Amino acid sequence: MGHGGNIIQELTTDHREVDEMFEQIEGLPAGDERLRKLADQLTIELVRHSVAEEEYLYPAVRRHVDGGDDLADREIEEHAEVERILKEWEGCEPGDSRFTTLAAQLKESVTSHVRDEENRLFPQLAAACSAEALDELGEKIRSAKKTAPTRPHPSAPDTPPANKLLAPGAGMVDRVRDMITGRGR
């Protein structure tokens, strides 16, 4: 899928890519060695996406949407739950019985989160921001994903300014680890 456009278009494209990865995972038999590679790719995408949302989407929601603080806080709590599942899933091999259970829990959590964003948060943000502001946020999201971590870090800060300061460093370390291990290729 092509990336680009405003923040809502960018994040919605990410959501569809994640949907496709879940379908690929569900299409393979339990224990299939290809599951680890797909799980790693899905983890990379979800972590990068979450970090970018926490850096730019949720601060914009807090600034521009009525009741934005509560909405952003709930979304960040959902990210924390997804990250805890990802961290546990990272330690499982496809033949492990927990692998399938955690994949199902992850899909349920992510699907619920995406539905809420697309049906509630995105329309409210679109109504509250100019087209130019949404386009600028789209650029910031794409930039943040390039330097974001690729592995779950459940204890890392998830709100500005600490997350914006620490995420690029964690991202660099994660990408070096990925390069050495071949993860995500």
CATH number, position 132: 1.20.120.520
Split at pLDDT 50, 70, 90, the class of 153 is confident
Instruction: Please indicate, yes or no, if residue 2 is contained in any of the structural domains.
Output: no
Instruction: Give the side-chain half-sphere CA count within 13 A for 143.
Output: 11
Instruction: Please indicate, yes or no, if residue 118 is contained in any of the structural domains.
Output: yes
Split at pLDDT 50, 70, 90, the class of 165 is low
Number of domains in the chain: 1
The answer to whether residue 8 scores a pLDDT higher than 70 is yes
Strand runs labelled E in 14-67: none
Q: What is the DSSP letter of 149?
A: -
Neighbours of 89 (CB within 10 A): 21
Split at pLDDT 50, 70, 90, the class of 160 is low
Structure-block tokens of residue 149: 């971590």
Distances (CA, A) of 69 to 14, 66, 72, 86, 180: 24, 8, 5, 26, 40
Instruction: Please indicate, yes or no, if residue 133 is contained in any of the structural domains.
Output: yes
Instruction: Please indicate, yes or no, if residue 1 is contained in any of the structural domains.
Output: no
Instruction: Please indicate, yes or no, if residue 131 is contained in any of the structural domains.
Output: yes
Domain assignment of residue 31, given as a range = 7-181
The answer to whether residue 18 scores a pLDDT higher than 50 is yes
The answer to whether residue 1 scores a pLDDT higher than 60 is no
Across the range 44-66, mean pLDDT stands at: 97
Instruction: Please indicate, yes or no, if residue 83 is contained in any of the structural domains.
Output: yes
Instruction: Please indicate, yes or no, if residue 136 is contained in any of the structural domains.
Output: yes
Instruction: Please indicate, yes or no, if residue 151 is contained in any of the structural domains.
Output: yes
Q: pLDDT at position 182, please?
A: 83
Question: What is the value of pTM for the model shown?
Answer: 0.91
